[in-house]
Structure 1
Amino acid sequence: MSLSSPAHAHGPTSVAVTGLSYAWPDGTVVFDDLQVSFGPGRTGLIGVNGSGKSTLLRLIAGELTPADGTVRVFGDIGYLPQNVALDTTSRVDEVLGIAGTRAALHAIEAGDVREEHFTAVGDDWDVEERARATLGELGLDHIDLDRTIGEVSGGESVLLRLAALLLRRPDVLLLDEPTNNLDLHARQRLYAAVERWSGVLVLVSHDRELLDRVDQIADLRGGGITWYGGNFSAYEEALAVEQDAAERMVRVAESDLKKQKRELSDAHMKLARRKRYGQKMWDSKREPKIVMGARKRAAQVSAGKHRILHEEKLTEAKERLDEAVEAVRDDDEIRVDMPFTAVPPGRDVLTLRDLRLAHGARVRGAFELRGPERVALIGRNGAGKTTLLRTIAGDLAPVEGEATAHVPLRFLPQRLDVLDDGLSVAENVARFAPDATNNRIRARLARFLFKGARADQLAATLSGGERFRATLAALMLSEPAPQLLMLDEPTNNLDMASVRQLTTALESYEGALVVASHDLPFLRSIGVTRWLLLDGALTDTEAP
């Protein structure tokens, strides 16, 4: 195993992964002899949750060490992880990595001409101008370099981390779910930055608008990568053609298998008739014994060859069917059919009255939610959407006013911290439904794709998408059944298949729904009936 980052002289900027093997500490194999390379251009790395997308980026970035194989990076590398954790006491210039250069520059400008300051500055005399220009490109020109991270929103902190990478001008840029927590305006800034990128870019994302800005798609599945030219829309079209062909091959293979079974059965019948005829001739002794013996031996040899030939054809037909079935993707769907979640039209679900939140946002007068409405809660980063949901859920007390839920409610937080990592999936669900039997819990979990041993997985070992499904299952299967479900950025960290599964689950949910999200395609897919904008105050608005 080796991990290296050669200089530019070795060749064009690229990432080369050869014979890569990696397993989690519990022995679960993620990669076994993976071969892949990423050259200049924008690559969208996609795959189902748990396939190893984030793990591969961490291996390339050097955060993880492979058990075997090599990872070679030609050029400087920049990596934006999925969960950006920044020290809230750090200043913006420290996060950008320019604090030392900037301090030396200011010292020289103030008349301190010690050599150490010139060494610190080097050739980077325009560092502040470059920093402000980069911040401006990402819509952060309002953020002063001396501010602390505690003064900016979560979405702005993600963009600041990206700005730090762009300032370094790396040759290889790795982005893991970069649009998580970004509002619509910030996402547009990120899209523009991706479109301008001219080096090697590998991004993991569920954001189809972002994936439609890449040059090629790398589909990670079963420990290997399949390449598709073009953006995500082109990938979907190509995959649809592939799957149609694969399903046709299954039908052809099934027909061939039936034919081979029929021919083998016919062959057995013919051989049985020959055997009966030979026995009849032997019993009647119509031919000399030596002739009948030779005829019997020849018939046995012929019968053996005939049987082996048909059995081989049958085996080959089964193998062709197995291969054809393997090529057809089986993306299971979550099923949520719980009648107790239904809310009749007109029933009072939620009342907010003269509400003032902990961070200043307000609900003036009375706001009411009735019946099975589907509400999209939108607004810029830092507007207070999460604070509002947590206040409704009872996790935070309002500064003024009241929030009253008239039906059982459950809140799916952005951090997915509902689960106890030390318990299994089934045990976590049992915490929310203590009166349910083990069999009932497992039958319900199977509808959320946790079948058999999967229900016994520890929560700590789940991938992002699996953790989301387990959390959703725990909330939806709780007793009493929730008639108001509130979701905070639910598509964060979900792959495309998981987003489809969530959409399907919410389609069959009959209660009231409030979803805070910046993912417009997702919001439109779940049939939102009412759009609310939180921008200082809560108001009804038109669909974006």
Structure 2
Amino acid sequence: MAHPTPTSVLCTDLGFEWPDGATVLDGFHLAVGAGRTGLIGLNGAGKSTLLRLIAGELTPTRGAVRVGGELGYLPQGLTLDTTLRVDEALGIRAAREALHAIEAGDTDGRHYDAIGDDWDVEERARATLDRLGLARLGLDRTTGELSGGEAVLLRLAALLLRRPDVLLLDEPTNNLDLAARERLYETVASWGGVMVIVSHDRELLQYVDQIADLRGGAVTWYGGNFADYERTVAAQQETAQRLVRTAEADVHRQKRDLVEARTRQERSASYGKKRSVTRNDPKIFAGKLKSQGQETTGRLQTMHTERLDEARQRLTVAEEAIRDDAEIRIDLPRTAVPAGRTVLTLDRVRLPHGVSADLEVRGAERIALVGRNGSGKSTLLRAVAGELTPLAGEITTPVPLRHLPQRLDLLDDTLSVVGNVKAFAPGAGDNAIRARLARFLFRGARAEQLAATLSGGERFRATLAALLLADPPPQLLLLDEPTNNLDLASVRQLTQALAAYEGALIVASHDLPFLRGLGITRWLELDGTLRTAEPM
């Protein structure tokens, strides 16, 4: 294994822009050393793009990236080839086959070359799978039946087996159930090399040594974990708010002083003129007095104007220290459902992978759908949405519904954000579409951005906007892991919006704080069959 340099990741004067000209980074600098770094920032700040640049998946427009030692990268939105064997996905098939050949008596030198020094590769692979809760996966099995969360864990296992010096993780807890998240937390806590984690998972960020906040094209560093970061930022913002109030008061005072100074000078000039006429002063003397008064007035006005400009500059500096974390504003359609109205019925439904369900949903129920990875939650939601035909039984949905899938694959990557929304709502006017997109932070040129260039959070916002603008508006919303790609500010805003939604709601999620904020009325657990669960 290569030995990392003191600074294991170095970005120098880095620049990157997409083919359509959208600039993500410009003149960017970053130096990451030993320890676990949590990389945070608003959606679209460039976090995932930065990881892809460091990993070599993207080529910088300018500048350079240097990585000291071997690098491992776990991308966001991971998909696996379903025809792969598990040992292939782990990258150890050749070594295993060589090991088995030698054990069978074949002494060909190529086998020894394939193994190298990794004679315990099978034992390490099984131990790593067991540590991540994947012990049931035989090394000879294919990956075709893995859930999204299991695919993430398998990819992580492959990286851990390589023992890289630098490990990049992009939203690693997406799609992981509660038990799998705990195993990931343990892995992160025990990591001894260099690690950079992009995540909105507050609990995961408690295990980092430092926070790197990417905003405005630059990184600000904070020592400690996410809780330390929040305390520091809260104190900074409190100070900034106090300085703004002080600066605002100073501006008002300087404005008042300027007006009062002008008023005094005008009165003085008027009084001097009257006195000169009354005394019948010579014109030369009167002119001299007038000139002196004007000169004094000019100096005073200049002084007060300069003070006002300085006060305004101090206010501008103070205001710039206040964070403007733009949040999505989701004005969900008014879709009130009467308490007694049936919105969904599952009658003796059987689905692939041994899933069976009986369910009736009435009125504006708010249902949390929980269960381990691979239990069939996404399959059930797809069946309810009409995207999958049951093997048996009947699904009835007498109200309009919309389904937000986990993989966010509803958008056409060749179309702009506006173009995608128009495809979902062909009858909507252009102004109505742009007004809705503005609430999802797609304003002006951003609304013309190609879907292929969107970050994970931006893609979520564009997809949700398209679904909610569709006609007819939904009286039943099906959401599959909706917080996966959202920044912390947007998760709060989504929670508030869904809490105000008047239709029925079924949410599959492993994000317990998010679910608790929705006012859940019924908890259902899927583990082969659908059954009522205790509130979490």
Please state which band the TM-score falls in when normalised by the shorter chain: over 0.9
Instruction: Compare 113-122 and 446-455 and name the one that shifted more.
Output: 446-455
Match of 1:326 in 2: 320
Shift of 1:346: 2.4
Aligned to 2:171: 177
Residues 1:396 and 2:388 aligned together: yes
Mapped partners of 1:410, 1:390: distance in 2: 11
**Secondary structure, aligned partner of 1:212:** helix
* Distance in 2 of aligned mates of 1:338 and 1:52: 28
1:268 aligned onto 2:268: no
Per the alignment, residue 231 of structure 1 pairs with 225
64-73 or 306-315, larger mean C-alpha shift: 64-73
Write the distance in 2 (CA, Å) between the matches of 1:69 and 1:292: 70
Q: Which residue of 2 aligns with 1:117?
A: 111
Deviation at residue 316 of structure 1 after TM alignment:
1.8
Residue 39 of structure 1 and its aligned partner are, at CA, apart by 1.6
Q: Aligned AA for 2:475? A: Q
Q: Equivalent residue for 2:440?
A: 448
Residues 204-353 of structure 1: pairs in structure 2 closer than 5 A: 204-277=198-271, 279-280=273-274, 286-287=280-281, 290-337=284-331, 340-353=334-347
Question: How far apart are 1:372 and its partner, in Å?
Answer: 0.9
Q: Deviations along 1:270-329, whole A, 9 cap, x unmatched?
A: 333344345556666854555545444444443333222222222222222222222222
Contact between 1:335 and 1:508, CA under 8 Å: does it hold in 2?
A: no
Counterpart Cα distance in 2 of 1:309 and 1:172? 58
**Structure 1, gaps ≥5 residues long:** 1-5
Match of 2:367 among 365, 370, 375: 375
Please say if residues 41 and 200 of structure 1, whose CA atoms lie closer than 8 Å, have aligned partners that are also in contact.
yes
Unaligned runs of 5+ in 2: none
1:540 maps onto 2:532 in alignment: yes
C-alpha contact (below 8 Å) 2:328/2:490 kept by paired residues? no
Q: Conserved in 2, the CA contact under 8 Å of 1:177 and 1:493? A: yes
Which residue of structure 2 aligns with residue 163 of structure 1?
157
Deviations, residues 367-390 of structure 1 (Å, cap 9, x unaligned):
211111111111122211111111
Distance 1:115 1:461 in 2: 48
Query: In 1, Cα distance between the equivalents of 2:366 and 2:412?
Result: 29
CA shift, 1:252, in A, is 1.5
Provide the residue aligned with 2:19 in structure 1: 25
SS at match of 1:418: coil
1:79 aligned onto 2:73: yes
Match of 2:49 among 27, 35, 55: 55
> In 2, distance between residues paired with 1:433 and 1:306?
62
C-alpha contact 2:240 2:321 (8 A) present in aligned 1: yes
8 A Cα contact 1:13 1:200, kept in partner: no
Contact kept, 8 Å, 1:13 with 1:75, in 2: the verdict is no
Matched-pair contact (CA < 8 Å) for 2:168–2:197: yes
| Gap change, CA 1:145 and 1:375, over 3 Å in 2 | same
2:40 equivalent in structure 1: 46
Which range is displaced more, 290-299 or 520-529?
Answer: 290-299
Q: Tell me the distance in 2 between the aligned counterparts of 1:474 and 1:115.
A: 59
Residue 238 of structure 1, CA deviation: 2.2
* Aligned CA distance change for structure 1 residues 274 and 59 (closer, same or farther; 3 Å): same
Q: Structure 1 stretch 73-82 or stretch 19-28: which is displaced more?
A: 19-28
Note if contact 2:11-2:31 (Cα within 8 Å) is conserved in structure 1.
yes
Does residue 105 (structure 1) correspond to residue 68 (structure 2)? The answer is no
Report SS of the residue matched to 2:78: coil
Distance 1:78 1:424, change over 3 A: closer
Deviation of 1:332 (Å): 4.2
When residues 116 and 420 of structure 1 are mapped into structure 2, their CA distance, relative to the original with a 3 A threshold, is closer
Instruction: Find the aligned partners of 1:12 and 1:462 in 2 and give their Cα distance.
Output: 34
Change in Cα spacing, 1:332 to 1:124, as seen in structure 2 (3 Å) is closer
- CA-CA distance at 1:415 after TM superposition: 1.9
State the distance in 1 between where 2:58 and 2:333 align: 46
Equivalents in 1 of 2:479, 2:351: separation in Å?
18
Taking a change above 3 Å as real, the CA distance of residues 128 and 427 of structure 1, as seen in their structure-2 partners, is: closer
> In 2, Cα distance between the equivalents of 1:102 and 1:135?
16
Distance across 1 between alignment mates of 2:452 and 2:278: 78
Residue aligned with 1:56, SS: helix
Q: Secondary structure at the match of 2:411?
A: coil
> What letter corresponds to residue 529 of structure 1 in structure 2?
T
Structure 1 residues 336 and 277 mapped into 2: Cα distance closer, same or farther (>3 Å)? same
Rounded Cα–Cα distance in structure 2 between residues aligned with 1:172 and 1:467: 28
Does residue 493 of structure 1 match 2:493?
no
Q: Which residue does 2:518 correspond to in 1?
A: 526
Q: Cα gap change, 1:465/1:272 in structure 2, threshold over 3 Å: closer, same or farther?
A: same
> Which residue of 2 is the match for residue 3 of structure 1?
none
SS in structure 2 of the partner of residue 182 of structure 1: coil
Q: Distance in 2 between matches of 1:431 and 1:120?
A: 52
Equivalence for 2:348: 354
424-433 or 471-480, which deviates more = 424-433
Hey, what's the Cα distance between the residues in 2 that align with 1:11 and 1:472?
44
Looking at structure 1, the residues matched to 292 and 496 of structure 2 have their Cα atoms a distance apart, in angstroms, of: 64
Contact 1:13 1:172 in 2 (8 A): no
**Which amino acid is the alignment partner of residue 24 of structure 1?**
W
TM-score (norm 2): 0.94
Deviation at 1:511, TM superposition (A): 0.6
Separation (CA, whole Å) in 1 of partners of 2:37 and 2:400: 44
What CA distance in whole angstroms lies between the structure 1 residues aligned with 2:431 and 2:397? Answer: 32
Identity in percent: 65
CA–CA distance in structure 1, aligned partners of residues 217 and 398 of structure 2? 48
How far apart in 2 are the matches of 1:123 and 1:428?
52
Residue 65 of structure 1 is matched in structure 2 by: 59
Q: Distance in 2 between matches of 1:220 and 1:540?
A: 42
**The 10-residue stretch of structure 1 (397-406 or 53-62) with the greater mean CA deviation from structure 2:** 53-62
Q: Shift of residue 260 of structure 1? A: 1.3
Counterpart in the other structure of 2:123: 129
Q: CA deviation digits over 1:386-413, x for unaligned, max 9? A: 1111111111111100111121111111
Distance apart, 1:221 and its partner CA:
0.8
Q: Per-residue deviation at 1:13?
A: 5.6
Q: 1:241 to 1:302 in 2, by over 3 A?
A: same
> Which deviates more, 375-384 or 460-469?
460-469
Do residues 192 (structure 1) and 186 (structure 2) align?
Answer: yes
Q: 1:30 to 1:381 in 2, by over 3 A?
A: same
Structure 2 Cα separation of the partners of residues 19 and 303 of structure 1: 52
**Bigger CA drift: 202-211 or 150-159?**
150-159
